[in-house]
Amino acid sequence: MTKILMVCLGNICRSPLAEGILRSKLSSNTYTIDSAGTAGYHIGNPPDKRSVAVANKYGLDISNLRGRQFTVSDFDIFDYIFVMDESNFDNVSSLARNEGDIEKVKLILNEVYPNQNYSVPDPYYGGKEGFENVFKMLDEACSLIADRLS
């Protein structure tokens, strides 16, 4: 079983979308996919309605996902930890205990644009176009991740 974790700040907008999208591209028999937030603001909460809506528009149901906070034990569980932006990268890396932990942490858009360190913008304070934009970015990145893994 290969285990992949998607991480953003709140675990209600970007990372639940990334989780749902990657799940739709990989078999659950061989891949475990989860998501978490670096902050604890939304523990136990469902994804933002706008993320649920854009997922639905593209045929995915993420409404059953619930927010949780990233913890250091995630480094032991997951093989790959994809973060959405540099702030997530810094927050997750600051919990790393060794080089092996740090090596698991990747900016997800570096899968599409190697070494460019682009961010998936936080859509929380914007309109629904922001969620559409985030969906398209994550869909492209997750297609490449799925192709490379399988």
Task: Decide: is 69 part of the binding site for ligand 4NP (CB under 6 A).
Answer: no
CB atoms within 10 A of CB 84: 28
- State yes or no: is 13 an active-site residue: no
List of residues 6+ apart from 103 with CB closer than 8 A? none
Q: Which of 3, 124, 130, 133 binds ligand 4NP (CB under 6 A)?
A: 124
Of 13, 23, 122, 142, which residue is the catalytic one? 122
Which of 17, 26 has the CB closer to ligand 4NP? 17
Query: Are the beta carbons of 109 and 33 closer than 8 angstroms?
Result: no
- State yes or no: is 8 an active-site residue: yes
Which of 84, 146 has the CB closer to ligand 4NP? 84
Query: Are the beta carbons of 1 and 30 closer than 8 angstroms?
Result: yes
- State yes or no: is 148 an active-site residue: no
- Annotated catalytic residues are 8, 14, 122
